[in-house]
Amino acid sequence: MKFWDSSAVITLCVAEPTSGAMRSLLRADPAMVAWWSTRTECLSGLMRRSREGALTGRGLGEARAALTALAHAWVEVQPSESVRIAAERLLAAHALRAADALQLAAAFVWCGGQTQGAEVVSFDSRLREAALREGFGILPPP
């Protein structure tokens, strides 16, 4: 089981250069963990692509259906005081934006603070760096 952040999840919904590798990673370990706002963050990305003309009609519908299917299958870390406390600690320790701190805090809470052996799937460079410094394994490899 791996923690997937929004930047990685969205590659499973739309065709991107990394989509094939991410689908292979998911096939090898189909148990996903995601933060409570991941679905909303991904939908935001899909709608931005739609407004920009990169995703139209049928493609948008298929991407939204893929996102919905993933969201129904993943284990979702819910908002909690422990997530907020972890996010606030991470903001003090790393150059993260609030949303990224909440993503990483959700991963931290998911693994019970035992980051050794826990993996985060992300393409966000700040999140990847902070996760690595916190002891998580990072996918895809740098």
- If pLDDT is split at 50, 70 and 90, which confidence band does 6 have? very high
Range of the domain at 113: 2-139
CA distance 55 to 42: 13
Tell which residue, 29, 17, 44, has the closest CA to residue 4: 29
User: For residue 142, what pLDDT is reported?
Assistant: 79
In the three-class reduction of DSSP (H, G, I as helix; E, B as strand; rest coil), residue 120 is classed as strand
10 alpha-carbon distance from chain centroid: 8
Beta carbons within 10 angstroms of residue 76's beta carbon: 16
Residue-wise pLDDT for 67-99, tens only, equals 999 999 999 999 999 999 999 999 999 999 999
pLDDT 10s digits, 21-67: 999 999 999 999 999 999 999 999 999 999 999 998 999 999 999 99
What's 129's domain CATH number?
A: 3.40.50.1010
Q: How confident is the model at residue 138 (pLDDT cuts 50, 70, 90)?
A: very high
Name the domain count of the chain. Answer: 1
Residue 8: other Cβ atoms inside 10 A: 26
Cβ contact 96:126 at 8 Å: yes
